[in-house]
């Protein structure tokens, strides 16, 4: 099965990935023409690309700089910092072990600020927390430091208290874990990643088996596969709390999906970067 076309992905997510991967190679700045060319290689037409760039500019996500009359954009520091800050969770997430302590975030938000309550829940969910009760979020203790830092940066820590402790009730904890997290949905998303990309792994293993240099078309194809694949994968380490496998359902698909991701990352990262550099040289930075 071929990789998903990027129409199914939000174009703004692709742009953030492009800056995170290749912005530094151009001093953090990319010309509009370069950005449009990169998006074109990902199947995004010029009109949609320019519309997305304009929308991100209006939101302050892309910052316009004109030194010589040429429009160049950088990604806002806040967004770029988030991209880089948790790469450890992308490539080497730490799986907790049975018996490790749990982190609890207990929060209470006045009704007059209920929008902040939704924001707080969304931030905790994006960090991999589940919910024991309406105002009690839970995760392996290894995630607590990131939560404290993120909520403080969002000025949400005034509504929270933080605890670390043990689970003392007996019985099969897997039943409770499946109530605290939507594991069924997460497992389905891992299955979708597997369905889309295991065939791509086989394709690229075949292409690389000869060991010779890759053609220009190969580099473009690598770029077209790698950027959407990484964009799709980035959501998992934030949603998945990396619980002990003993706490998870039988046949949990995350390890299989991760194997496909790491194999493709190893195969495609370099040729995709080479193609991106070709576009930067051609259209300018």
Task: Report whether 181 contacts 241 (CB < 8 A).
Answer: yes
User: In which band, very low, low, confident or very high, does the pLDDT at 7 lie, cut at 50, 70 and 90?
Assistant: very low
| One domain, residues 136 and 122 | yes
Nearest to 249 by CA among 170, 196, 188, 168: 188
| One domain, residues 188 and 214 | yes
Q: Tokens at residue 192, please?
A: 């979708």
Domain that includes residue 76, residue range:
1-96+182-285
| One domain, residues 198 and 277 | yes
Nearest to 85 by CA among 149, 39, 36, 138: 149
User: In which band, very low, low, confident or very high, does the pLDDT at 25 lie, cut at 50, 70 and 90?
Assistant: low
| One domain, residues 154 and 241 | no
Model confidence over 117-174: pLDDT tens digits? 999 999 999 889 999 999 999 999 989 998 999 899 889 999 999 999 999 887 788 8
Model confidence over 70-108: pLDDT tens digits? 778 888 887 877 776 656 667 766 789 998 999 999 999
Domain boundary pick from 123, 139, 165 = 165
Nearest to 240 by CA among 169, 185, 167: 185
Q: Which helix (H) or strand (E) holds 103?
A: strand 102-107
Model confidence over 201-259: pLDDT tens digits? 999 998 888 777 889 999 999 999 999 999 999 888 878 999 999 999 999 999 999 99
């Amino acid at each position: 099965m071929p990789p998903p076309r990027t129409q199914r992905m939000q174009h703004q997510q692709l742009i953030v990935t492009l800056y995170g991967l290749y912005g530094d190679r151009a001093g953090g700045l990319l010309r509009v023409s370069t950005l449009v060319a990169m998006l074109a290689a990902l199947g995004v037409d010029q009109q949609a690309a320019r519309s997305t760039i304009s929308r991100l500019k209006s939101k302050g996500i892309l910052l316009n700089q004109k030194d010589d009359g040429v429009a160049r954009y950088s990604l806002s520091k806040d967004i770029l910092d988030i991209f880089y800050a948790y790469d450890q969770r992308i490539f080497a997430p730490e799986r907790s072990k049975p018996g490790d302590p749990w982190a609890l975030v207990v929060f209470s938000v006045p009704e007059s600020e209920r929008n902040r309550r939704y924001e707080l829940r969304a931030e905790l969910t994006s960090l991999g927390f589940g919910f024991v009760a309406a105002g009690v979020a839970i995760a392996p203790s290894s995630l607590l430091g990131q939560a404290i830092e993120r909520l403080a940066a969002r000025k949400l820590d005034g509504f929270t208290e933080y605890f670390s402790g043990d689970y003392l009730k007996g019985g099969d904890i897997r039943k409770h874990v499946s109530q605290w997290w939507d594991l069924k949905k997460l497992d389905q998303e891992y299955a979708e990643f597997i369905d889309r990309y295991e065939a791509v792994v086989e394709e690229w293993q075949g292409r690389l088996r000869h060991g010779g240099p890759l053609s220009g078309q190969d580099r473009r194809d690598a770029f077209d596969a790698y950027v959407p694949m990484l964009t799709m994968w980035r959501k998992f380490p934030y949603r998945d709390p990396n619980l002990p496998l003993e706490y998870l359902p039988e046949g949990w698909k995350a390890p299989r999906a991760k194997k496909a991701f790491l194999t493709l990352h190893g195969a495609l990262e370099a040729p995709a970067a080479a193609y991106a550099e070709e576009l930067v040289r051609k259209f300018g930075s």
